[in-house]
Amino acid sequence: MAKKTNAGASAEDASFVFKGTVLKLKAATMTGITVTTRTATVRVDEIVHGPEALAQYAGQEITVELSGRKKVTKGQQLVFRTNPLLFGDSLAVRSIDQQELTATLAAAAMPPGDPVKRLVERDVRSRAATADAVVSGRVVSVRVPSDVVAIRASAEAGQPSQRISEHDPDWRIAEVQVDQVHRGSHAGKTAEVRFPSSHDVMWHYAPKLHAGNEGLFILHKAKKVRAAARLAPTEDSGEYVCLNPVDVQISEDLSELPDAIALIAEPGTPSE
């Protein structure tokens, strides 16, 4: 069944960037798309960066909802900055920006390396730039918030709570032993990090922490994150929240952490 996703609003936020060739105008590769004068089928010639789930579309024809009003012609090669719009028998994306493939743009848009890794690196930098703290350390314990325990006890006693929801995040709080603060500030030896343990579609991609996990943690104050307010515990809420898949960089080999740490360095920080 086709599944719609949200699209971003700025070229910098584009999650699927590729070089493509326009094959047909006023056409689509899948059902569920309203074809307009700004709908086109495009062959994905080369992926610049994108999630692993979309790597399979290299060389494939997809549907693009074009941005702006600038004329696009059949056979034209462009660099498309897009976000996924609809999944099904094929893929539909909404273009935030498309530019003609000049030699200068091609050189800038096609850096060497793995396109999936490039997207992760970009997202790590972006998340770190807005984080309250970025620390390395180890998860020493995971607990159910006391509020959640109380709600469950009430439900078992025949007193259903209005907080029970189809999309309940089923919050957990991880206590992270902080070995080093790499960006922002955190004064304590440990950090309490709330995360949704639910695998519901709303929370599926959020990090799931377990005792013993070691790595880099990109932390945002829970009170600043709108999504963290959903069925949030009030008495035992945790100081930080991790919701984005890149917020936790787990590494079995801590010698690999310097690469991740280099990505989140403050502007102007000298490299070692």
- Asked if residue 131 and residue 94 are part of one domain, the reply reads no
Place of tokens 């770190």: 128
- Asked if residue 149 and residue 220 are part of one domain, the reply reads yes
pLDDT at 205: 78
- Domain containing residue 238: CATH number: 2.40.50.120
Residue 205 and residue 151 in contact, taking contact as beta carbons nearer than 8 Å: no
In this structure, which amino acid lies at residue 223? Answer: K
- Asked if residue 81 and residue 128 are part of one domain, the reply reads no
pLDDT at 211: 95
pLDDT at 119: 66
- Asked if residue 251 and residue 197 are part of one domain, the reply reads yes
Rounded-to-integer distance, Cα 167 and Cα 200, Å: 6
- Asked if residue 131 and residue 50 are part of one domain, the reply reads no
Containing structural domain, residue 229:
122-263
Residue ending a domain, choose from 112, 141, 171: 112
pLDDT at 132: 94
pLDDT tens digits, the chain, 272 residues: what are they? 444 444 334 456 678 889 999 999 999 999 888 999 999 999 999 888 888 778 889 999 999 999 988 899 999 999 898 988 888 889 999 999 898 876 444 544 555 566 657 767 777 888 888 899 999 999 999 999 987 766 665 555 565 555 555 678 889 999 999 999 999 999 999 999 999 998 887 788 789 999 999 989 999 999 888 888 888 888 888 999 998 888 988 876 556 666 667 767 665 454 44
pTM tops 0.95:
no
What letter would DSSP give residue 228? G
Residue ending a domain, choose from 65, 80, 112: 112
Give the chain's domain count. Answer: 2
- Asked if residue 205 and residue 134 are part of one domain, the reply reads yes
- Asked if residue 149 and residue 96 are part of one domain, the reply reads no
- Asked if residue 177 and residue 88 are part of one domain, the reply reads no
Residue 194 and residue 228 in contact, taking contact as beta carbons nearer than 8 Å: yes
Nearest alpha-carbon partner for 63 in 31, 110, 99: 31
- Asked if residue 33 and residue 103 are part of one domain, the reply reads yes
